[in-house]
């Protein structure tokens, strides 16, 4: 019974850490496989776009995982492997692209959207406050007519 529990626990651990990596993709060398997994967690699945290729079940993600493992098996460094994939698919494939002129819009757009939203809210609230304050946009004649109408409605 204890052996069965250990086996179940071990299978759950393996299933939880496996992601979408299939057994036929895994490398025999554990150190090389760990490097491949670390790289795969940094690369975006260009089909799913919100998952790393390590987590994605898409066929293209599988192809990218195989490419990463082929590069590492050929003796390439982690950086050279990442560069190979980025050269092929662009910076979009990186889950955390570098801050450089080509990606400035990607990094700064949330700040600009937040700033524009803040300016819009401030203008909206300022306009409401001016309207509630009585409106300075009335001429003296219009103001006198409004006052007269208010006096008449009070009587």
> What contacts 87, CB < 8 A, 6 or more positions away?
none
- Token digits of residue 54: 């390590």
Task: Say what the pLDDT of residue 89 is.
Answer: 87
- Token digits of residue 62: 């599988």
- Token digits of residue 123: 């203008």
Distance, in Å, from the CA atom of 56 to the CA atom of 151, rounded to the nearest integer, reads 73
- What is the pLDDT averaged over residues 25-53? 85
Task: Say what the pLDDT of residue 46 is.
Answer: 83
Contact between 97 and 106 (Cβ < 8 Å): yes
Secondary structure of residue 52 in the 3-state scheme = strand
The string of pLDDT tens digits covering residues 102-138 is: 788 878 999 999 999 999 999 998 877 776 666 567 7
For 141-153, b/e burial (b = at least 16 CB within 10 A) is eeeeeeeeeeeee
| 14 confidence band (pLDDT: 50, 70, 90) | very low
The string of pLDDT tens digits covering residues 47-96 is: 887 888 988 888 888 899 999 999 998 999 999 999 999 999 888 888 88
Q: Give the pTM.
A: 0.56
| 29 confidence band (pLDDT: 50, 70, 90) | confident
Q: What is the 3-state secondary structure (H, E, C) of 114-147?
A: HHHHHHHHHHHHHHHHHHHCCCCCCCHHHHHHHH
- What is the pLDDT averaged over residues 17-27? 62
């Amino acid at each position: 019974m204890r052996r069965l529990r250990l086996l179940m626990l071990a299978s759950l651990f393996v299933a939880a850490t496996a992601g979408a990596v299939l057994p036929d993709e895994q490398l025999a060398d554990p150190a090389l496989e760990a490097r491949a997994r670390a790289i795969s967690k940094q690369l975006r699945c260009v089909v799913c776009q919100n998952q790393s290729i390590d987590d994605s079940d898409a066929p293209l993600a599988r192809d990218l995982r195989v490419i990463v493992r082929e590069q590492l098996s050929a003796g390439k460094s982690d950086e050279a492997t990442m560069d190979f994939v980025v050269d092929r698919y662009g910076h979009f494939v990186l889950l955390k692209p570098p801050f450089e002129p080509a990606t400035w819009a990607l990094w700064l757009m949330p700040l600009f959207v937040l700033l524009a939203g803040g300016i819009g809210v401030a203008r909206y609230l300022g306009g409401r406050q001016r309207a509630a304050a009585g409106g300075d946009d009335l001429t003296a004649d219009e103001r006198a007519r409004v006052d007269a109408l208010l006096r008449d409605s009070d009587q």
